[in-house]
């Protein structure tokens, strides 16, 4: 794979490995993030105070000392909010900006203080006297289920008669698996800067994936219409879903301060407070009951997914839905029932995180594959291949969508050969036979990930393209840049559409004043939707120029925009010359573009429909080794083959695949969110919360874009979304660790390794595996 960058001076066309548009600014430190914006005169720095109990009724918040601290300018509480005190994304009114009567988790924001410096604001915030009457707290999934404590009612989907299939199957297994929470750990913490405008309006700079929602929530909080608020986002220092809804609170707080004081107001969260007060990936309890035949083919399955949602709904409904939509992963179920519990707990409200429930759903079924294989004494890969979606009769999902683009079998077959899976599996068995302390394991797992927001109306996007008289182009769209390379991809599409060099396209900050009513940049849909909207705008302008150049007597279709210039059927014009001519001919050179994803629908009551336009596929082979004395582990080698359709930018896509995989590996290995018995998160800084570092990535890390990939659907240049799917490739690592643990025993029981597979959990799992093994051993000898 050629990853060398093309100089921006060259003609940039799509499908080339062009460097990130901000790469030079990144490496020189000149890329501006919210906290880097030149501070306006009179800037106030905002900080906040939080609840130190998990659940309670506020008796009194005494802020006298806070207010009188030298340098403090304003203190705001729930009472100071003129409009709605609600930042819930779907307006469920279950998440207050500043807590008014009750607190629902440790870390919930109670009040905000604005001061002349950030240091003063932080010191002053510590002086509040807070009196909260503690109430019983629900902290675990188990307690929530017991008390039927939900943020949304349980939901179910089924196809066929799972109970009947289970009852009549010749083999049946049940099991349970826990997957842990995950902090986003975007390197740039939450930040927002609000600047008061005329008429009591406000301009907000935020590190947010969802400017339109911030605009709306700030307007509601201020009791003003949406048009009183403008939100601008140039770039984020990482987001991963953690700035889809979680950026709103800080934007709203600074907007309130700015409007109330008439001074600009900025907030930037300290890392610890960011980790304590903002949501994470949902931890899940997954249960399965599966029936299968002698070959390992699944006959029926019953899956239960329980998500710890935290204290409010946030996006938990859609996340739990997506977990259900992915609890089949790439496998066909003849009969299936999937139940989902959305547990309300007195912990931080969990939220979107790359994969959005999909990873948890897939972890369940991949465990099932390993369990069936262990039970039958077969290679797990054989079981996986046997259960893949297939042709007519084996291509219907549990939600009645027909899988039309199944390339999983091809990808798996290619990867199996290129990674030498079979040989290495044999070698590993031989190694393990002679290595009592160090054990190795290998696993191949596939990914099939549905692309589109499952909330259908979100699948729309807008863009705004201006062509100036000199031929330079201004590009704007509703998508936000968080490092994923969206801006460069869309710019490539636009440059290609006009036939101009990439450097001629000016990328501009996302701004609600330019493109309204946008959806979050999420669900991997950024380039699918925004590039299409931008292309629509380009096509409108091109059509107008073409009609002008063709004149009344010629067919506008003869006018072509090529890399050499604009061909009007008779002669070639430089692009700038054609543009100037069109301007002088009074042709509008600005257009708004729009796109809505076709074909998709979903009937929630019936749990049937086509929630996805298409699926993205991939597969990974991971080889690991564990130290059975300590539980330490190491990934020795990873091979990945991933489908991105026809890549818009192979370098960017490869970066998404590698980065997504490593992030997923962190979720399943070193990253552990640890709450104490009082519901306090104790891993709230990089000293205690460990995301992967360079040495965790294996030296042999063979990552390939699937060269035969092509989207069957008419997406932008037949590409496929790539943001989320690769994260789930990391399930291979977890599965391989479990295989390594299994190598210590003789029986046919799969170890019950939960995630994350930390040294502690691996060692404890080894322990129970030994014990269980002994038990089966003893039982078979009938000594008990």
Partner 1 sequence: MVQAKHSAIRFLLGHQPQQVSGCDPQTTVLDWLRGPAGRKGTKEGCAEGDCGACTVTVVELRDGQLQYRAVNSCIQLLPMLDGKQLITVEDLATADAVSPILHPVQQAMVDQHGSQCGFCTPGFVMSLFTLFHDQRAVQGASDSGLARQDIDEVLAGNLCRCTGYAPIVKAARQCSQQAAAGDEFSASEAGTIQQLQQLAHDDMLEMEFQGRRFFAPRSLQSLWEILAEYPAACMVAGATDVGLWITKQLQQLPVLVYVGEVQELQRLQVNPDTGVLEIGAAVPYADVLETLIGTYPELEAMLKRLGAEQVRNAGTVGGNIANGSPIGDMPPALIALDAILILSSSKGRRELPLKDFFIEYGKQDLQPGECVEAIHVPQRPKGLHYAVYKLSRRFDQDISSLCAAVSLRVENGEVVEPRICFGGMAGTPKRARAAEKALQGQELSLERILAAQQSLLNDYEPLSDWRGSTEYRMKAAQHLLMRFFLETQGEAPVQLQRGLD
> Which residues are marked as active site?
724
User: Helix and strand tally (H, E) in the chain?
Assistant: 19, 29
509 is a site residue for partner 1 (CB under 8 A): no
Query: CB of 351: closest distance to partner 1 in angstroms?
Result: 16
Q: For partner 1, what does the binding mask look like between residues 169 and 208, x meaning CB under 8 A?
A: ---------------xxxxxx-------------------
Query: CB of 689: closest distance to partner 1 in angstroms?
Result: 9
Query: Looking at 11, 438, 556, 587, which residue binds partner 1 (CB under 8 A)?
Result: 438
The stretch among 131-139, 444-452, 564-572, 659-667 that binds partner 1 (CB under 8 A) is 659-667
* Separation CA 140–CA 343 (nearest Å): 9
- Give me Rg for the CA atoms of the chain: 27
Residue among 240 and 341 whose Cβ is closer to partner 1: 240
Query: Looking at 80, 270, 382, 710, which residue binds partner 1 (CB under 8 A)?
Result: 270
Residue among 338 and 486 whose Cβ is closer to partner 1: 486
Q: For partner 1, what does the binding mask look like between residues 752 and 771, x meaning CB under 8 A?
A: ------xxx--xx--x----
The H or E element containing residue 203 is: strand 202-206
Query: CB of 744: closest distance to partner 1 in angstroms?
Result: 13
* Separation CA 285–CA 353 (nearest Å): 17
Q: For partner 1, what does the binding mask look like between residues 240 and 259, x meaning CB under 8 A?
A: x-------------------
748 is a site residue for partner 1 (CB under 8 A): no
- Output the CA–CA distances (angstroms, integers) from residue 691 to 506, 632, 667, in the order listed: 35, 16, 8
Question: DSSP letter at 520?
Answer: P
Residue among 260 and 628 whose Cβ is closer to partner 1: 628
Q: For partner 1, what does the binding mask look like between residues 695 and 734, x meaning CB under 8 A?
A: xxx-xxx-x-------------------------------
Question: What own/partner pairs with CB < 8 Å and gap ≥ 24 does 212-215 have?
Answer: 212/478, 212/512, 212/516, 212/517, 212/518, 212/519, 213/89, 213/245, 213/248, 213/520, 214/247, 214/248, 214/251, 214/252, 215/512
Query: CB of 120: closest distance to partner 1 in angstroms?
Result: 11
Does residue 330 contact residue 388 with C-beta atoms inside 8 Å?
yes
Query: Looking at 2, 79, 377, 437, which residue binds partner 1 (CB under 8 A)?
Result: 437
Residue among 189 and 279 whose Cβ is closer to partner 1: 189
Q: Could you say which residues in the range 107-126 bind partner 1, by CB under 8 A?
A: 119, 122-123, 126
* Separation CA 374–CA 217 (nearest Å): 51
- Output the CA–CA distances (angstroms, integers) from residue 515 to 47, 212, 358, 469, 541, in the order listed: 31, 9, 30, 22, 17
The H or E element containing residue 442 is: strand 438-451
Q: Could you say which residues in the range 13-72 bind partner 1, by CB under 8 A?
A: 17, 19-20, 22-33, 35-36
* Separation CA 231–CA 218 (nearest Å): 10
The H or E element containing residue 777 is: helix 759-780
Q: Could you say which residues in the range 218-237 bind partner 1, by CB under 8 A?
A: 235-237
Pick from 493, 509, 726: nearest CA to 595: 493
Residue among 123 and 384 whose Cβ is closer to partner 1: 123
Residue among 142 and 700 whose Cβ is closer to partner 1: 700
* Separation CA 332–CA 170 (nearest Å): 18
Cis peptide before 756 (omega within 30 of 0): yes
* Separation CA 756–CA 669 (nearest Å): 5
Query: Looking at 98, 315, 616, 652, which residue binds partner 1 (CB under 8 A)?
Result: 652
Query: CB of 733: closest distance to partner 1 in angstroms?
Result: 13
- Output the CA–CA distances (angstroms, integers) from residue 18 to 224, 538, 646, in the order listed: 43, 21, 15
1 is a site residue for partner 1 (CB under 8 A): no
* Separation CA 8–CA 202 (nearest Å): 36
Residue among 120 and 566 whose Cβ is closer to partner 1: 120
Query: CB of 429: closest distance to partner 1 in angstroms?
Result: 17
Pick from 213, 150, 510, 525: nearest CA to 342: 150
3-state secondary structure 330-396: CECCCCEEEEEEEEECCCCCCCCCCCCCHHHHHHHHHHHHHHHHHHHCCCHHHHHHHHECCCCCCCE
The stretch among 370-378, 517-525, 594-602, 649-657 that binds partner 1 (CB under 8 A) is 649-657
Query: CB of 541: closest distance to partner 1 in angstroms?
Result: 26
Query: CB of 745: closest distance to partner 1 in angstroms?
Result: 18
Pick from 505, 462, 501: nearest CA to 487: 505
662 is a site residue for partner 1 (CB under 8 A): yes
Return the bridge partners of 440, or none: 625
Residue among 108 and 758 whose Cβ is closer to partner 1: 758
Does residue 236 contact residue 50 with C-beta atoms inside 8 Å?
no
Q: Could you say which residues in the range 607-626 bind partner 1, by CB under 8 A?
A: 625-626
Residue 740 CB neighbours (<10 A)? 29
CA 200 from chain centre, in angstroms, equals: 35
Residue among 3 and 606 whose Cβ is closer to partner 1: 3
632 is a site residue for partner 1 (CB under 8 A): yes
Q: Could you say which residues in the range 474-493 bind partner 1, by CB under 8 A?
A: 482-485
Query: CB of 405: closest distance to partner 1 in angstroms?
Result: 27
Query: Looking at 89, 291, 593, 631, which residue binds partner 1 (CB under 8 A)?
Result: 631
Q: For partner 1, what does the binding mask look like between residues 417 and 436, x meaning CB under 8 A?
A: ------------------x-
Query: Looking at 89, 364, 655, 679, which residue binds partner 1 (CB under 8 A)?
Result: 655
Q: Could you say which residues in the range 75-114 bind partner 1, by CB under 8 A?
A: none
3-state secondary structure 130-146: EEEEECCCCCCHHHHHH
Q: Could you say which residues in the range 300-359 bind partner 1, by CB under 8 A?
A: none
Total of chain residues touching partner 1, rule CB under 8 A: 94
Pick from 259, 219, 183, 191: nearest CA to 87: 219
Residue among 236 and 447 whose Cβ is closer to partner 1: 236
Q: Could you say which residues in the range 669-698 bind partner 1, by CB under 8 A?
A: 670, 672, 674, 682-683, 685-688, 690-697
Side-chain half-sphere of 550: how many Cα atoms within 13 Å? 16
Residue among 170 and 695 whose Cβ is closer to partner 1: 695
Query: CB of 488: closest distance to partner 1 in angstroms?
Result: 11
Residue among 397 and 628 whose Cβ is closer to partner 1: 628
* Separation CA 329–CA 307 (nearest Å): 18
Burial of 158 (0-12, 13-18, 19+ CB in 10 A): middle
Query: CB of 707: closest distance to partner 1 in angstroms?
Result: 19
Query: CB of 682: closest distance to partner 1 in angstroms?
Result: 5
């Amino acid at each position: 794979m050629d990853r060398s960058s093309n100089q921006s001076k060259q003609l940039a066309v799509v499908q080339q490995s062009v460097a990130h548009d901000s790469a030079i600014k990144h490496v020189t430190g000149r890329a501006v993030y919210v906290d880097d914006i030149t501070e306006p005169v009179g800037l106030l720095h905002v900080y906040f105070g939080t609840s130190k109990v998990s659940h309670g009724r506020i008796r009194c918040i005494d802020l006298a000392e806070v207010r009188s601290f030298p340098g403090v300018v304003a203190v705001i509480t729930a009472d100071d909010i003129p409009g709605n005190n609600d930042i819930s994304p779907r307006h469920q009114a279950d998440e207050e900006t500043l807590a008014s009567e009750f607190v629902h988790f440790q870390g919930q924001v109670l009040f905000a203080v604005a001061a002349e410096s950030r240091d003063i604001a932080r010191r002053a915030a510590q002086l509040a006297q807070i009196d909260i009457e503690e109430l019983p707290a629900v902290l675990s999934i188990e307690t929530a289920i017991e008390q039927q404590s939900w943020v949304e009612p349980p939901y179910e989907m089924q196809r066929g008669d799972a109970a009947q299939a289970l009852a009549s199957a010749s083999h049946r297994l049940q099991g349970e698996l826990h997957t842990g929470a995950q902090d986003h750990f975007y390197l740039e913490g939450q930040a927002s800067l609000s600047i008061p405008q005329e008429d009591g309006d406000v301009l907000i700079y935020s590190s947010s994936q969802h400017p339109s929602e911030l605009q709306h929530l700030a307007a509601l909080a201020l009791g003003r219409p949406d048009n009183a608020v403008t939100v601008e986002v140039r770039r984020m220092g990482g987001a991963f879903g953690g700035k889809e809804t979680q950026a709103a609170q800080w934007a709203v707080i600074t907007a309130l301060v700015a409007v109330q004081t008439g001074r600009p107001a900025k907030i930037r969260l300290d890392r610890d407070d960011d980790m304590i007060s903002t949501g994470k990936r949902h931890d899940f309890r997954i249960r399965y009951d599966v029936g299968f035949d002698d070959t390992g083919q699944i006959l029926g399955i019953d899956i239960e997914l329980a998500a710890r949602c935290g204290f409010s709904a946030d996006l938990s409904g859609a996340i739990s839905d997506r977990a259900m939509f992915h609890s089949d992963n790439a496998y066909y179920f003849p009969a299936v029932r999937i139940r989902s519990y959305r547990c309300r707990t007195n912990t931080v409200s969990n939220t979107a995180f790359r994969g959005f429930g999909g990873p948890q759903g897939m972890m369940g079924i991949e465990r099932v594959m390993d369990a069936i294989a262990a039970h039958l004494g077969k290679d797990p890969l054989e079981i996986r291949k046997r259960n893949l979606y297939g042709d007519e009769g084996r291509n219907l999902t549990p939600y009645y969508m027909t899988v039309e683009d199944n390339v999983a079998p091809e990808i798996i077959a290619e990867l199996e050969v290129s990674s030498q899976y079979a040989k290495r599996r044999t070698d590993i068995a031989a190694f393990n036979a002679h290595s009592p302390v160090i054990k190795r394991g290998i696993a191949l797992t596939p990914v099939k990930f549905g692309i589109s927001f499952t909330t259908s109306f979100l699948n729309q996007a807008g863009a705004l393209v201006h062509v100036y008289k000199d031929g330079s182009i201004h590009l704007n769209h509703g998508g936000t840049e968080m490092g994923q390379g969206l801006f460069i991809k869309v710019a490539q599409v636009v440059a290609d559409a006009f036939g101009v060099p990439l450097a001629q396209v000016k990328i501009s900050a996302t701004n609600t004043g330019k493109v309204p009513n946008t959806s979050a940049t999420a669900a991997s849909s950024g380039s699918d939707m925004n590039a299409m909207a931008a292309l629509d705008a380009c096509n409108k302008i091109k059509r107008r120029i073409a009609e002008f150049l063709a004149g009344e007597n010629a067919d506008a279709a003869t006018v072509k925009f090529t890399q050499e210039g604009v061909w009007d059927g008779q002669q070639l014009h430089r692009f700038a010359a054609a543009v100037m001519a069109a301007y002088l001919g009074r042709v509008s050179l600005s257009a708004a573009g729009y796109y809505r994803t076709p074909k998709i629908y979903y009937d929630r009551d019936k749990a049937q429909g086509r929630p996805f336009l298409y699926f993205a596929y991939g597969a990974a082979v991971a080889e690991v080794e564990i130290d059975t004395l300590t539980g330490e582990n190491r990934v020795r080698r990873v091979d990945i083959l991933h489908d991105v359709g026809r890549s818009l930018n192979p370098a960017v896509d490869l970066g998404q695949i590698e980065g997504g995989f490593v992030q997923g590996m962190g979720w399943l290995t070193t990253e552990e969110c640890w709450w104490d018995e009082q519901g306090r998160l104790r891993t709230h800084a990089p000293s205690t919360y460990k995301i992967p570092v360079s040495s965790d990535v294996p030296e042999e890390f063979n990552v390939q874009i699937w060269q035969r990939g092509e989207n069957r659907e008419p997406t932008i240049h037949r590409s496929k979304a790539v943001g989320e799917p690769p994260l789930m490739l990391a399930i291979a690592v977890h599965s391989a660790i479990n295989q390594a643990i299994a190598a210590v025993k003789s029986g046919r029981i799969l170890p019950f390794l939960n995630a994350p597979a930390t040294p502690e959990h691996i060692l404890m799992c080894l322990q129970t595996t030994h014990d269980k093994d002994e038990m089966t051993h003893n039982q078979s000898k009938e000594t008990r």
